Amino acid sequence: GAVVSQHPSWVICKSGTSVKIECRSLDFQATTMFWYRQFPKQSLMLMATSNEGSKATYEQGVEKDKFLINHASLTLSTLTVTSAHPEDSSFYICSARDRDRGLYEQYFGPGTRLTVT
Amino acid sequence: AQSVAQPEDQVNVAEGNPLTVKCTYSVSGNPYLFWYVQYPNRGLQFLLKYITGDNLVKGSYGFEAEFNKSQTSFHLKKPSALVSDSALYFCAVSGLYSSASKIIFGSGTRLSIRP
């Protein structure tokens, strides 16, 4: 149980276009989802926390107008990278918290590799 | 603010030898501590966690970690390393002060096990 999926697993887009990444909790309800960004050979940096039905809370330095997060249901959160640029190329990982398993358990998706050309 | 430090970028161990990956933390109040492993181009896999209770926590794949409150450490250990243990390991911490607590990750330690 507690499986989180991401789609797509990898995407290549042209500079200036927008790309949407989906994060789904497959077998549990996630009241909170988190989005992380990971550069090569570096750690995961938390970008934002999204709660179902409310606006996401962004970490300092993360542009909320560039990284649009929507958490419309208890099983789906989306991250849209708007007007992507090559510096947005990264590995994006989401995680979800299962409200029935406690406040501090997070389950991670397999990640999405974004390459902007 | 909560933080976690992994002082070693890389740890090299011969197969069959014991391994230790170091982690220290800073958090207000009592911590939740985690270890995750990441294989190339993959997401994170949960290894183990400490919440309360016994300071020695046993996890997946034969790994264990010891919580030391006085030294604010949570080192990852395994008695006998396998080549397949080679991966990137992350220590993480979450505080208990908020119902919306975030998990903060360390910088990661690359573990390399030589045959």
Closest CA of chain A from B88, distance in Å? 9
- Please report the pLDDT score of residue B40 as a whole number: 79
Distance CA A109, CA B11 (A): 26
Q: Is the pLDDT of residue B14 over 70?
A: yes
Phi, psi values for residue A54, rounded to 5°: -135, 170
- Please report the pLDDT score of residue A35 as a whole number: 95
Average the pLDDT over B82-98 and give the result. Answer: 85
Tell me, yes or no, if B105 comes closer than 8 A to chain A by beta carbon: yes
Using the beta-carbon criterion (under 8 Å), do B101 and A108 form an inter-chain contact?
A: no
- Residues making up chain A, counted from first to last: 117
Closest CA of chain B from A17, distance in Å? 24
- Please report the pLDDT score of residue A104 as a whole number: 63
- Please report the pLDDT score of residue B96 as a whole number: 57
Choose the weakest-confidence range: A37-51, B31-45, B91-105.
B91-105
Stretches where chain A sits below pLDDT 70 are: 1, 99, 101-104
Predicted confidence band at B99 (pLDDT cuts at 50, 70, 90)? very low
Whether the CB-CB separation of B37 and B105 falls below 8 Å is answered with no
- Chains A, B: CB contacts under 8 A, how many? 46
